[in-house]
Amino acid sequence: MPQIELPDGHRVVLPEGEPIGSVLPPTTIVARFDGELVDLSFVPGRDGKGEPVTADEPDGLHVLRHSTAHVMAQAVCDLVPGAKYAIGPPIEDGFYYDFELPQPLTPDDLPRIEARMAEIGAADQPFVREELSRQQALERFADQPYKREIIEGLDEAEGAGADTVVVYRSGEWSDLCRGPHVPSTGRLGAFKLLKLAGAYWRGDESRPMLQRIYGTAWPTEPDLKAYLHRVEEAERRDHRKLGRQLDLFSFPEELGPGLAVWHQRGGIFRKQLEDYVRDLHLERGYDLVVTPHLARRVLWDTSGHTAKFIENMYPVMDDGQGSQYFVKPMNCPFHVLVYKSQVRSYRDLPMRLSELGTVYRYERAGVLHGLLRVRGMTQDDSHIICREDQLIDEILSVFDLTLDIHRTFGFEDPVVTLSTKPGQAIGEESMWARAIEALTKALNNSGLEYTVAEGEGAFYGPKVDFHFRDAIGRLWQLTTVQVDFALPERFDMEFVGEDNERHRPVMIHRAILGSLERFAGVLIEHYAGAFPLWLAPEQVRLVPVADRHVEHARELAEKLRAAGLRPFVDPSGETVGKKVRAAQLMKVPYTLVIGDREAETANLTVRDRSGTEAKDVALEAFVRALMEEAGTRSLEQSRFGD
RNA sequence: GCUGGCGUAGCUCAGUCGGUAGAGCAGCUGUCUUGUAAACAGCAGGUCGUCGGUUCGAUUCCGACCGCCAGCUCCA
């Protein structure tokens, strides 16, 4: 009879044939046996450590969601005769399941499916684990082509001993699954079906499009409520909505998809961002260059863009005189030409050419998303041209600059990935190997943790990407650092070395904010539109109490402007309450209410964004505090009064 | 690009089972002259995304296109 050691150190004897669940607490939904997740119905054949797992820990939640996905698929199959089910894994915050259905579902069908799921839950059907031979499994899923495809693929994937296929059955319905599952359909938590979407079978766009149902599942009803609340919070921060509310930018249909116009307020915000990064680059030893938006075809043929990137480029333009032009999707070839405008010495290196370069990429229609994915964008793009022995130091200094810049906005702890050679690539294998080696060494020297993304590199070289977490925990890919031996070769870039011989330099492509559009979109969501003072388009709103105070407000605004701030007077005849509300809705950092009292004392009454009011603030003190706050790019508002 | 959904005033939305449309906010005007998140009244504002088709008649039904949204695939 096996002995089970429980987490508290107790050893219990499990009678022969008894499941592990019989010695675990009733709230347990799955178990760990010697570290491995197993069903509660698992019968240990030997001594070992047994641990209860509840839905409150990550593994348990994972299983809960997986089981919920199964029950959803069971419900769909009950309701839709002829449904073919594909796969249904747990994902962050929930689960999905993919189906091929005779008739597509509509959002109205989701409540019906939820109701059926509830019935299955009430029936409390046990999840029964069955081990079938491959042949038995193929028969069981005779009318399920996707399951059969998976079973047929199992042998190759799992190697020897894969003649056994694990199937879980609940009621009459069964699914191919490695498990484990909760003990029965009555042990699901709180769930909700969220949306319908299309998804390619096995993520391959050459294969059939299936219908996917997304759902979310949590241990308890309050957990579900909290999650739905978090989703609402994210919607409240949507930069597309805030962009309109705050009058920052728009996407006029006449311009074409993915092409933004920045309004007056957005223009100031952009200028603040641009000045900050440009000045910082100059401080850090970068040079500025400026290049046009178009170039002849030959440039793109040389760089390899027409061969490897044409899908992402706007169609060619013909000037009618026999020349063809492309609008630029990248800045690199132009910077190469700046380099090549003279014979370069080893003394010139590293050369760091920097530009806020506006590029146009013909992104596929379905991927566009507000400012986060556009077709016209400005990159904070630099190309560092250096000797190979300078490469690692240069990469490290880029990492350093990256962390420095992002800290300014309150982004810390990046998630870093190293992306290797993709399918569509130029350059020899040895170049790729050296480039990857340099990036790897730099990463190791930097102490940054990273993961490897196979085949995700740019067509001309491998890259390191930095993803940063925003205020509500979402990750955004911003920075990219790419090492390129290929373009120097293609453009025959050279420098004269100490030995008076000609040598080939290496090039680093890097964008730290990424694109100003995406970065702006991320910042809007990160700050929920309430920008720190230095970025706020309008910094101070002056609200005259009555018409007779407008002139005094204007004089004060003039003083603030002269001091370098961005004030705005609201001269409308509305009530004070309404004008204050208007300022608050525009998320203006400071509102000054100007009435008789202020006219007499020459002091200010200051309201900050939190609604805190301070009376009798001296103008000089107010200006000093705001200049300090903006000058240090503080993320906190100044306090006045108490 | 693919799958599904959507497109009515500057914004947020109602509505028309086919007879050319309404509200709130914003805007403008007037009254009020206001003390920290919405004063009151009036006015103005829409070829109901575009183009075809069906119909005596289309914003409504059908089709194509354009755009947007969610997801897939792809990416700064």
pLDDT tens figures, A155-174:
555 544 567 889 999 998 99
Q: What is the Cα–Cα distance from A64 to A217, expressed in whole angstroms? A: 7
Partners of A592 in the β-ladder: A542, A606
Digit-coded pLDDT (tens) for A406-419: 999 999 889 999 99
> Residue A138 is encoded by which pair of tokens?
């193929």
| Closest alpha carbon to C1' of B71, residue | A197
> Residue A375 is encoded by which pair of tokens?
């077709």
Containing A324, the helix (H) or strand (E) segment is strand A324-327
Query: CA A484, A486, A489: angle at the middle one, nearest 5?
Result: 125
Lowest mean pLDDT among A53-57, A203-207, A246-250: A203-207
| Closest alpha carbon to C1' of B73, residue | A205
CA dist A124 → A56, A129, A187, A287 (Å): 21, 15, 8, 69
Q: What is the mean pLDDT of residues A28-52?
A: 90
| Residue with more model confidence, A385 or A474 | A385
Residue A425 has what pLDDT? 87
Residue A489 predicted with pLDDT over 50? yes
Residue A437 has what pLDDT? 94
Q: Decide: CB of A421 under 7 A of nucleic strand B.
A: no
Residue A158 has what pLDDT? 52
A194 by Cβ neighbours in 10 Å (0-12 / 13-18 / 19+) ranks as middle
Residue A636 has what pLDDT? 95
Residue A161 has what pLDDT? 55
- Work out the pLDDT band at A203, boundaries 50, 70, 90: confident
Give the closest residue to A356 by CA, choosing from A295, A263, A281: A281
Closest nucleotide relative to residue A596's CA, C1' based: B35
Partners of A170 in the β-ladder: A173
Residue A641 predicted with pLDDT over 50? yes
Residue A21 has what pLDDT? 87
Q: What is the mean pLDDT of residues A462-481?
A: 90
Digit-coded pLDDT (tens) for A289-317: 999 999 999 999 999 999 999 999 999 99
Tell me phi and psi for residue A79, to 5 degrees.
-85, -30
Tell me which amino acid residue A579 is: K
Nucleotides of B under 7 A from a protein CB: 1-5, 11-12, 26-28, 31-39, 66-76
The catalytic residue among A381, A465, A470, A570 is A381
A297 by Cβ neighbours in 10 Å (0-12 / 13-18 / 19+) ranks as middle
Residue A157 has what pLDDT? 52
Residue A156 has what pLDDT? 55
The catalytic residue among A332, A482, A539, A570 is A332
Give the closest residue to A110 by CA, choosing from A623, A324, A271, A118: A118
- Work out the pLDDT band at A546, boundaries 50, 70, 90: very high
Q: What is the mean pLDDT of residues A91-103?
A: 90
Q: What is the Cα–Cα distance from A213 to A120, expressed in whole angstroms? A: 18
Residue A313 has what pLDDT? 95
Residue A159 has what pLDDT? 46
Give the closest residue to A229 by CA, choosing from A192, A187, A196: A192
